[in-house]
A = this chain, B = another copy of it.
């Protein structure tokens, strides 16, 4: 064999550390497939016990920055270590630094959905280890995703044009952030193709839109002044008249309105932008309408909760996260477009090494053209597992239970003079404050979380420091919400500002 230059491969008879090809037999593998049975049984038991016991752990850890890192060695091991030692270190080193998102006392941020079928879907997906970048690189990976996302169009009562049977289709993204970015890029390309210049484009969203909107716009090359913040009404929903006025003003100034993002269920307060009126403005003015329903979208599986979707047929794209409230492990954001060609034109780049007969035939969907990265895991499996293991009725029961728990806590808060709602309770989110003001509310939140029996987070609404209570944990039931209420009752000072006598 010629000398091919650097880096040169070790040859079969090469000197030094390089082994011969004869060492390739499976008997020499450090880890064999069969170890999945023994090590796997241990890992599975670890996970099962974890989920059975998770309610007994402090919800949040008590560690200082750097404390977990210091418990780990400075270097990777030179020699293989037994799996039981790794699991032991998981308990000893890692677990003391875990915030238990699966705890039934976790009411912070938003739920991080998970359930046994979704966990096993991840396991099977990892076992198959396929890359679904192209239809041709694993047809079932693409087609199961298309079908399952079509199922959800039906289950949620979404417009038929979001189905793969029509002009559009759905795709699993890692997150609503990435869905927003894809929508912005598709809208931008549409505007540029129409003759506008990048710096003329303007994007619109309310002041309550998620931070992924300004982040996505920045990533997509928009300067801060190209983002318009639409004012909200008293319930924190977008004022569609203000949107119309801003769009008209920008157009009159020679600018090119490009996209509006409407939020169905804002992060801070679960506010719902009026899709029908926002959509009418967008349609009239030629804006791409993206609807971000990351948290709330799953609610539409219950027909009685679909009111917020009124006008959704005017959206060019739509995203919601089964990984928030539909029991499917992160990452699983469902992103739908009305016109798939707009998305594909914006995101398709085909080098020679990815060309193949199926793609050239035009008869298949290549999901790499529907997302930012090239590679993709087989994420549809976990969603398929969840939809089948629960059935639509099981999922509705799961969500309705959270809503009933939320309503019960809302009643208690409303009936107590110490608390005030900072936004209308909606779905599974309660935003409230202590009547004593920001300092009392902050102190209450601190004390609640310091109990480590519960974890809640905060926001600021209309200038007021606000406690957010999001009820959506897989294992959260009446007992846990009762315990939260007991803590609230015990820790909140009286309305006058003085503490209860102890």
CB pair A221–B188 under 8 Å, yes or no, is yes
Q: In the complex the two chains form, is B36's CB within 8 Å of A397's CB?
A: no
The 8 Å CB contact of A393, one of B1, B34, B79, B346, is B79
Interface string of A87-130 (1 = CB under 8 A from B): 00010011111111110000001001111111110111111111
Contact with B along A213-228 (1 / 0, CB 8 A): 0111011111100000
Partner of A374 from the list B81, B137, B175 (CB cut-off 8 Å) is B175
* Interchain CB contact under 8 A, B30 and A377: no
Which among B21, B43, B113 is the interface contact of A408 at CB below 8 angstroms?
B21
B143 in contact with A23 (CB, 8 Å): no
Bound together, the chains give a CA A372 to CA B109 distance in angstroms of 19
Option from B6, B347, B389, B424 in Cβ contact (under 8 Å) with A80: B389
Within 8 Å of chain B (Cβ to Cβ): is A286?
Answer: no
Which of chain B's residues have a CB closer than 8 A to the CB of A29? 474-475
Q: Does A246 contact B (CB under 8 A)?
A: no
Evaluate contact between B352 and A459: CB separation under 8 angstroms.
yes
Which of A310-328 touch B at CB < 8 Å?
323
| In the complex, A185 has a CB within 8 A of chain B | yes
**B24 to A139, Cβ gap below 8 A?**
no
* Known contacts A4-B424, A181-B219, A394-B30: A129-B101 contact under CB 8 Å: yes
Chain B residues positioned under 8 Å from A390 (CB to CB):
30-31, 80
Q: Provided the pairs A83-B389, A140-B61 are in contact, do residues A475 and B127 lie with their beta carbons within 8 angstroms? A: no
Q: Report if A63 contacts B (CB, 8 A).
A: yes
Q: Knowing A79-B393, A144-B94, A353-B458 touch, does A86 contact B10 (C-beta < 8 A)?
A: no
The smallest beta-carbon distance between A324 and chain B, in angstroms, is: 9
B128 and A122 within 8 A (CB): no
- Contact B36–A48 (Cβ < 8 Å): yes
Does B120 contact A36, Cβ atoms closer than 8 Å? yes
Within the complex, the shortest CB–CB distance from A269 to chain B, in Å, comes to 10
- A51 to B, closest residue via Cβ: B33
Q: Smallest CB-CB separation from A175: which chain B residue?
A: B373
Given A33-B52, A52-B33, A211-B349, check contact A407 B299 (CB 8 Å): no
A235 near B: Cβ within 8 Å? yes
A24 vs B397: C-alpha distance in the bound complex, in angstroms? 9
Q: Are A36 and B51 in contact (CB under 8 A)?
A: yes
Determine whether the beta carbon of A122 is less than 8 Å from that of B122. Answer: yes
- Report, as a range, how many residues of chain A touch the other chain: 35 or more
Q: Cβ of A41 and Cβ of B39 under 8 Å apart?
A: no
A410–B1 CB distance below 8 A:
yes
Interface residues in A340-379 by Cβ distance below 8 A to B read 346-347, 349-354, 358, 361, 363-364, 372-375, 377
- How many copies of this protein are present in the complex? 2
Given contacts A41-B41, A69-B147, A353-B468, contact A86 B6 (CB under 8 A): no
Q: Is the CB of B112 within 8 A of A10?
A: no
Judged by a CB distance under 8 angstroms, whether A477 is at the interface is: yes
- State whether A372 and B178 are in contact (beta carbons under 8 Å apart), knowing that A52-B33, A119-B126 are contacts in the complex: yes
Contact partners of A69 in chain B: CB under 8 A: 143-144, 146-147
Is B374's CB under 8 angstroms from A80's CB? no
The answer to whether residues A80 and B128 also contact, given A1-B410, A139-B65, A401-B19 and a CB cut-off of 8 A, is no
* Distance between Cα atoms of A218 and B189 in the complex (Å): 9
Q: Which of the candidate stretches A70-78, A251-259, A433-441, A487-495 sits at the interface with the other chain?
A: A70-78
**In the complex, which residues of chain B have a beta carbon less than 8 angstroms from the beta carbon of A128?**
50, 98, 101-102
A-B contact pairs, 24 of them (CB 8 A): A1-B407, A5-B235, A7-B306, A10-B404, A11-B408, A18-B403, A21-B401, A24-B401, A24-B481, A26-B475, A31-B116, A40-B47, A40-B116, A47-B124, A67-B139, A78-B393, A81-B388, A101-B128, A101-B130, A118-B126, A129-B330, A198-B223, A210-B351, A220-B220
Q: Which 10 A-B pairs give the minimum distances between C-beta atoms?
A: A221-B221, A97-B140, A47-B127, A114-B129, A24-B477, A30-B394, A175-B373, A33-B51, A122-B126, A6-B307
